[in-house]
Amino acid sequence: MAKEKSVFVCSDCGGNSPKWLGKCPHCNAWNTLLETSLAASEGTVKNRFASLAKTAEVAALCDIEASDFERTPTGHDELDRVLGGGMVEGGVVLIGGDPGIGKSTLLLQALDSLQRAGKKTLYVTGEESGAQVALRARRLGLDGSQVRVLAEIGLEKILATLADQQPDVAVIDSIQTVYSEQLSSAPGSVAQVRECAAHLTRAAKASGVCIVLVGHVTKEGALAGPRVLEHMVDTVLYFEGDTHSQFRLVRAIKNRFGAVNEMGVFAMTERGLKGVSNPSAIFLSQHAQPVPGSCVMVTLEGTRPLLVEIQALVDSGGPSPRRLSVGLDKDRLAMLLAVLHRHAGVACMDQDVFINAVGGVRIGEPAADLAVMLAITSSLRGKPLPKGFLAFGEVGLAGEVRPAPRGQERLKEAAKLGFTVAVVPKANAPKKAIEGMVIHAVERVEDAMNVVRGLS
């Protein structure tokens, strides 16, 4: 009997290699090549895109009829914000996160709200039985829910059920458990995840049903399976947050129907996930009086301005001082310390410097630079910044303070929450005064330091 031939498939990009290699020749990822039988690979080629819709004729853009997508609200404002306003007909959403973070809980609550609004819903579970889903629904207080549940992992049976039931919204929990009988590889393999997702995506586009795929994550926090999975779907959402914390963040990494980097904030309660109407309160300090090393800044998460407290601790270090940053870029911290020394005369060469963004939020925009530098200076001198003080702005290597995008919206959001003093880049200074707020516009780092000394 001839020996069955095999091929090595990359779990990240799906590229093939005739032999095992430490590094994928296609995407240069290390230790991602997995052995797969050649029969499975050939089956993939034969059956892939078998359910493609009819091809369309070539047409000019101006001749194609196009209208805005109608959205169906899920009944959860924070989830609708991340999705761009609600579910889109024929859209495919991929949501991933750590085990136990609340993915299934949130989706079950959303399906129940949609069902009560008159929409047909279907919950396909491959990891639980129907009884387990019913028990979870009762724990969440979803008594009398009419959400239809199907415990199935066979792709062909799922597609047949979608065609028969014709739901408006369907959840597949999870895509890693679904398998196709046309492929010989095991569920969760690169070939199975890629092909099952492709068939479900095509079914959504052809029938108009909105499909939500739940995805597992790896130990590094990335979505498990081939990278092409994220390219096929319309929207990619990530659940963030510590499972031991009450709060959860849902962030949009990709969205063909809305803005990316939108963020929704939820609180885990005994009755499931509840949206947080004022998320800035999570990221602000609970101190009654200002403390040294604390500075509030306004960051943008998609279209939402959020107030976040930046904390700094400067302590005497040894011959090799430490630089630790939580929630902000570590390399950028080293750069800001150099700028602080060169242009403001604040030296931290022999000091340990620790920076933290309160609430577990991660800040990627450079508008936090000025707040970080002011928090470091406050901690080093042991003097707190004034009550109701905030700052934002990007700092360059020459010591200049650069403007942040949408500065007016940031200042208005801060004024609503009672902040009275702001240090901002000169280009972000509003043309009209904001009631109840004194705004100091600065051009350089030393100017900001002088303003703070005058206020202390």
Cα–Cα distance measured from residue 235 to residue 18, given in angstroms and rounded to the nearest whole number: 33
Whether the CB-CB separation of 441 and 424 falls below 8 Å is answered with yes
286 and 432, same domain (yes or no): yes
**Predicted pLDDT at 56:** 65
**Predicted pLDDT at 243:** 64
Whether the CB-CB separation of 248 and 240 falls below 8 Å is answered with yes
- Contacts of 452 by beta carbon, 8 Å cutoff, 6+ apart: 374, 377, 378, 385, 423
Query: Is residue 328 a part of any domain in this protein?
Result: yes
* Total number of domains in the chain: 3
Alpha helices in 94-232 (DSSP H): 103-116, 130-139, 155-165, 190-207, 228-232
Q: Which domain holds residue 272?
A: 70-277
406 and 374, same domain (yes or no): yes
Alpha helices in 265-368 (DSSP H): 330-344
97 and 175, same domain (yes or no): yes
200 and 97, same domain (yes or no): yes
Residue ending a domain, among 277, 297, 324, is 277
182 and 224, same domain (yes or no): yes
237 and 316, same domain (yes or no): no
254 strand-pairing partners: 236
Whether the link from the prior residue into 41 is cis, omega within 30° of 0, is no
Query: Is residue 53 a part of any domain in this protein?
Result: no
Query: Is residue 418 a part of any domain in this protein?
Result: yes
Tokens representing residue 77 in the block: 């404002």
309 and 246, same domain (yes or no): no
Cα–Cα distance measured from residue 181 to residue 179, given in angstroms and rounded to the nearest whole number: 7
Query: Is residue 163 a part of any domain in this protein?
Result: yes
249 strand-pairing partners: 240, 265
For the chain, percent helix, then strand, then coil, each to nearest 5?
Answer: 30, 25, 40
300 strand-pairing partners: 305
Query: Is residue 376 a part of any domain in this protein?
Result: yes
Query: Is residue 317 a part of any domain in this protein?
Result: yes
Residue 389 sits in a domain of what CATH number? 3.30.230.10
Residue 91 sits in a domain of what CATH number? 3.40.50.300
- Amino acid identity for residue 183 in this structure: L
Mark 124-160 as b/e (b = at least 16 C-beta within 10 Å).
Answer: bbbebeeeebeeebeebebeebebbbbebbbbeebbe
77 and 149, same domain (yes or no): yes
Residue ending a domain, among 219, 243, 277, is 277
Query: Is residue 1 a part of any domain in this protein?
Result: no
Residue 265: C-alpha distances to residues 81, 231, 446 (Å): 10, 25, 36
**Predicted pLDDT at 3:** 58
423 and 316, same domain (yes or no): yes
77 and 173, same domain (yes or no): yes
- Amino acid identity for residue 250 in this structure: V
Residue ending a domain, among 277, 300, 319, is 277
Whether the CB-CB separation of 340 and 314 falls below 8 Å is answered with no
399 and 253, same domain (yes or no): no
Cα–Cα distance measured from residue 101 to residue 244, given in angstroms and rounded to the nearest whole number: 9
What is the rounded end-to-end Cα distance, in angstroms, of the chain? Answer: 86
Query: Is residue 130 a part of any domain in this protein?
Result: yes
255 and 292, same domain (yes or no): no
pLDDT in tens, the chain (456 residues): 455 677 888 877 777 888 888 888 888 888 888 887 665 444 444 444 444 445 568 989 888 887 777 889 999 999 999 998 999 999 999 999 888 889 999 999 999 999 999 999 999 999 999 999 999 999 999 988 999 999 999 999 999 999 999 999 999 998 999 999 888 788 888 888 989 999 999 999 999 999 999 998 877 777 777 778 898 999 999 988 776 678 888 989 999 988 887 889 899 888 899 998 888 877 776 676 889 999 999 998 877 888 999 999 999 877 888 999 998 998 999 999 999 999 999 988 889 999 999 877 889 899 999 999 999 999 999 999 999 999 999 999 999 999 999 999 999 989 988 899 999 999 999 888 888 899 999 999 999 999 998 887
